[in-house]
Chains A and B, each alone.
Chain A
Amino acid sequence: MVSDEYGFFIDPQRCIGCRSCVGACAECGTHKGRPMIHLDEMDRLESPQTAPTVCMHCEDPICAQVCPADAIKRSEDGVVHSSQKPRCIGCQNCELSCPFGVPIVFSGLEQMLKCDLCYDRTSEGLRPMCATVCPSQALLYAPKAVVEQMRRARPVRDFTVGELAVRTRTAVMVPDPETPLHLDAALLIEGGLE
């Protein structure tokens, strides 16, 4: 069981694009060199913004809903797991339906693997690999109460995807609206202070 006291928080504001999370994810004993994290450069011309994506661990996971083989299970502690090997038929329904783009059907394996909150680590009280190494702690695994008190950004767990309301175990941190954003050096030079 993974402790309910702990939450996983993604704060893209802090992300420095170093891909340490991706590299470390691949090192996990069960992943054998395959990272389950996506790290996207948003639009490098316009901004250095990058964003990591780990599984949001939906309360009612769409990937599991659409799985024809019933291969995707959510454990009682709210963690959505990789497909069960004997059941998975590699049909990619999960890949296509996930609103966050998390599951990957690996060719060669013909099986869907995904971020499972490092279940082998978190069920033993360790932090997930990515959140342990993340230099800026854009990926954070910590007691929820501490995070809500400690960080200025606000955790969000409710999303609307098309007409679908999705509630997740993983939270995305929404910046304090006062936080400035500097994207164009030319504008700063010409006197735009923010």
Chain B
Amino acid sequence: MSRPPRPLDDLRSAYGPHLNLAPPGGWDADLEPDRLVKTHCCFCGQQCGIQLKVKDEKVVGFEPWEAFPFNQGKLCPKGVKRYLQGNHPDRLLKALVRTEEGFAETGWDAAMARVVEGIQRVQAEHGRDAFAVLSGVSLSNEKSYLVGKFARLGLGTRNLDYNGRLCMVSAGAANKKAFGVDRAANPWSDIELADVIWVQGSNVAECSPITTDYIWRARDRGAKLIVIDPRLTPLARTADLALPLRPGSDAALTNGVLHLLERWGLLDRAFISARTEGFEAALEAVRDCTPDWTSKQTGLPAAAIEKAARMWGEARTSFLLHARGIEHQSKGVENVLSCINLVLATGRIGRPGCGYGTITGQGNGQGGREHGHKCDQLPGNRDIENPEHRAHICRVWGCTDEELPRKGKSAQEIMEAIHAGEIKGLLSLCFNPVVSLPDSDFTRAALEKLDFHVNLDFFLSETGQYADVVLPSALHEEDEGTSTSAEGRVIKLNKAVEPPGDARPDWRIMVELAERLGRGKWFSHFTSPRAIFDELRAASKGGTADYFGITYEKVEQRMGVFWPCPEPDHPGTPRLFEGGRFFHPDGKARFVPTPWRPPMEVVDEAYPVWLTTGRTVFHYLSGTQTRRIGFLVEQCPHPYLEIHPRLAEAHGIAEGDPVEITSRRGSLVLPAKVVKTIRPDTVFIPYHWPGNLGANRLTPRHLDPVSKIPEFKVSAVRIRKTTEDRFPPELAELRRMAFEARTNQPVLPEQVF
């Protein structure tokens, strides 16, 4: 049994979240840096360049890095305050081992011995595959690569998957089907050259803030902007066309637009016939998607749909961007394919100002999904079931085909198998499923069933609370390596300081574990991130995500290198598909038909309101890092329910009122935030918080059948006004923390609220 070993209040007082409000020594300390370290932000796939100020071997602040071309010094508030995750009172400095009385700090050797015993016991009793690994893509390319190899050869398990399963997999699967490769097709500089920019299911201003300026630079040239989202996000406020569609109806809209493009003759027939396959079937699937039909599905006026089709169809150059809004659905892959169909139908790809891309969400969401971090994948974006691909990796790794496990379960499926008692052991790192997987009561019940759980993290996450052993790992700024941005640009992360106490980089922990498990022959040569990268280069050689020609020196000299980069003298490939050459063997792109189907859960009499979830600009993913940084907590201390005044009035709800939100999974009470910027049939909750404040207590475990992404963006709830005493106690604590961040006073005076 792996319940949290002490009451949650106790765990909170010992391990946080507490706030870091100021640099080491306080604001009055001498913060003049000894050196500036050029590196990148750890939050989000934009991977902005930043310089960290180091004084007395501590990170004390930041300085913009204006020479880095992607962001030219620009940073969102998470980037500005990221340095406060260092020198943090909650930082794990020693290994923790579960005891009868709670977690106890213990020496490194004892902790590692217990981990080895736990792994060996589970695998001896239940088989190798009964021990799973859940990882994440805030890890560098080197660490991501190593996790894949460690799970397969260090543990010999097929059950490895990662939190990109909650992020980029729908886009990845669709891009592979359509283009034969999974990467944004263009560098972001092409956004500025586009005449029409189509943004669907992406809250650009909050989730990829730097992209906002690229879009505005295009608008200054006269570009038109279309924003499609159930909420009017900050970017939509001034868009040329804002389409607040019903949650889950994205493919209906794009199908309807394709229908009109064909009807109005706004197709690039020459491109379609020369460079693509499958157009007629795609067209057949949208035969009945008239404006009236589309209007009915999307809840948008037919005239608005026609206007969108006209703007997109008549454009000379264009850029289509999408993100989790369309991907976090049980038809995430189809939504993406239906967007790609619009791009291919107009032939506007592979040229300056003609582009397409998903906006990768996680820090290394791009690179971390290329090198064997996924249950069905080997390095270089190879397929784990393809005999040739397996043979290449066996050669590089020096193992036999029998030693290399086959395809395993995806992240949510691993959690289901843990719940079913089929998987008994878990190594988790860089992933906080208690907050980030759907139906969190189910996730907690599953984790309680594990025989053995080891967690690697720098803070005690809500998932770490369920572990038997927690090994302290290193922050982003305490190690070097590479990462690959949303553009497909490989960049260099540089080490600013040493990890404190017993903390060490995840790669060191995995190499040591492999050695202790008697599998050192495959890992002992990894004495540095560079050594791992050199093997990654060789392993990726010949794959679609080919890094062979990329070196640390080249990345630093060129301010990043875009893959594929197959040879040392190759300059890299900022723009894919030039000359209409795609990555399928015949060089052509594929239209894939996307016949309409509804979301897995739709509103009904019992649950009449749509729920959609997402991020805010002030927090990153499950909040393990950002819920500990004073400034960010001050701006956004707790979740809330966004609701249109019309729906609010119908339930007698006013601003700040307690609202009980109930789905088929569970129930939450949150304060109302009454705004006109959301559809009146839809409510929204940001998801970064745990427990009684977790939006994912409400979301369903419905998965896309291909990508296995959960349908975070569409579910059905009912709402009712309730009383203040129903607010969970966590809310008062977060309000106190916001006051502390604002005033540096830890105790909330009575009269303030």
Contact = CB atoms under 8 A, between A and B. Distances in A.
B209 interface: yes
Interface string A25-38: 01101001100000
A71 B372 CA distance: 64
Contacts of B646: 186
B675 A44 contact: yes
Interface in A122-141: 127, 129, 132-137
B676 A27 contact: no
Interface string A155-194: 0000000000000000000010001111111101111010
Contacts of B423: none
A33 B22 contact: yes
Interface in B1-40: 21-22, 27-28, 31-32
A137 B676 contact: no
Interface residues of B, number: 65
A186 B644 contact: yes
B196 to A, nearest CB: 15
A45 B239 contact: no
A185 B303 contact: no
A151 interface: yes
B52 to A, nearest CB: 12
Nearest to A179: B238
Contact of B209 (A18, A151, A179, A193): A18
A133 B677 contact: no
A20 B673 CA distance: 22
Contacts of B299: 189
What's the interface size class on A, roughly? 35 or more
Contacts of A20: 75-77, 79-80, 209
B22 A189 contact: no
A17 B631 CA distance: 14
B617 A16 contact: yes
Name, among A45, A152, A179, the residue most crowded by chain B CB atoms within 10 Å (CB to CB): A45
Contact of A137 (B216, B233, B238): B216
Contacts of B62: 27
A99 interface: no
B304 A47 contact: no
A193 B617 contact: no
A132 B212 contact: no
A15 to B, nearest CB: 8
B645 interface: yes
A191 B303 contact: yes
Nearest to B682: A185
A124 to B, nearest CB: 13
Contacts of A48: 232-234, 237, 675, 677
Given A152-B219, A185-B244, 18 more contacts: A16-B206, A16-B209, A16-B235, A17-B617, A18-B209, A23-B631, A48-B675, A127-B73, A132-B64, A135-B75, A135-B76, A137-B74, A180-B240, A184-B232, A184-B676, A186-B646, A193-B301, A193-B304
Interface string A1-35: 00000000000011111111011101101001100
B213 A45 contact: no
Contact of B236 (A19, A179, A182): A182
A145 interface: no
A32 B28 contact: yes
29 contacts: A14-B213, A16-B235, A17-B205, A17-B234, A17-B617, A18-B209, A20-B75, A20-B209, A23-B77, A27-B62, A27-B80, A29-B32, A45-B655, A46-B676, A47-B677, A127-B73, A129-B64, A132-B74, A133-B74, A133-B79, A134-B74, A135-B75, A135-B76, A135-B212, A136-B216, A137-B213, A152-B219, A180-B240, A185-B644
A13 B239 CA distance: 11
A33 to B, nearest CB: 4
B273 interface: no
Given A45-B675, A47-B677, A136 B300 contact: no
A22 B76 CA distance: 11
A185 B680 contact: yes
A188 B304 contact: yes
A180 B679 contact: no
Interface in B242-263: 242-244
A16 B203 CA distance: 11
A188 B243 contact: yes
B638 interface: no
A24 B235 CA distance: 22
A49 interface: yes
Interface in B181-228: 205-206, 209-210, 212-213, 216, 219-220, 222
Contacts of A135: 74-76, 209-210, 212-213
B226 to A, nearest CB: 12
B216 A186 contact: no
A136 B205 contact: yes
Contact of B676 (A24, A127, A134, A185): A185
B81 interface: yes
Interface string B118-138: 000000000000000000000
Given A133-B74, A136-B212, A180 B301 contact: no
A191 B242 CA distance: 12
Contacts of B31: 29
Contacts of A50: 234
Contact of B301 (A27, A133, A179, A189): A189
B388 interface: no
Contacts of B680: 185-186, 189
Contact of B77 (A19, A49, A127, A150): A19
A182 B675 contact: no
B239 A180 contact: yes
Nearest to A48: B234
B61 interface: yes
Contact of A183 (B21, B237, B243, B307): B237
Contacts of B75: 20, 24, 133, 135
A75 B669 CA distance: 55
B205 to A, nearest CB: 4
A103 to B, nearest CB: 20
B232 A183 contact: yes
A49 B676 CA distance: 12
B495 to A, nearest CB: 22
A180 B66 contact: no
B242 A188 contact: yes
Contacts of B61: 27
Nearest to A152: B220
A141 B631 CA distance: 25
B213 A18 contact: no
A33 B645 CA distance: 37
Contacts of A18: 76-77, 205-206, 209, 617-618
Interface in B32-73: 32, 61-62, 64, 66, 73
Interface in A71-111: none
A44 B640 CA distance: 14
Contacts of B205: 16-18, 136
B677 A183 contact: yes
B674 interface: yes
Interface in B623-646: 631, 635, 644-646
Contacts of A26: 631
A189 B676 contact: no
A152 B64 CA distance: 27
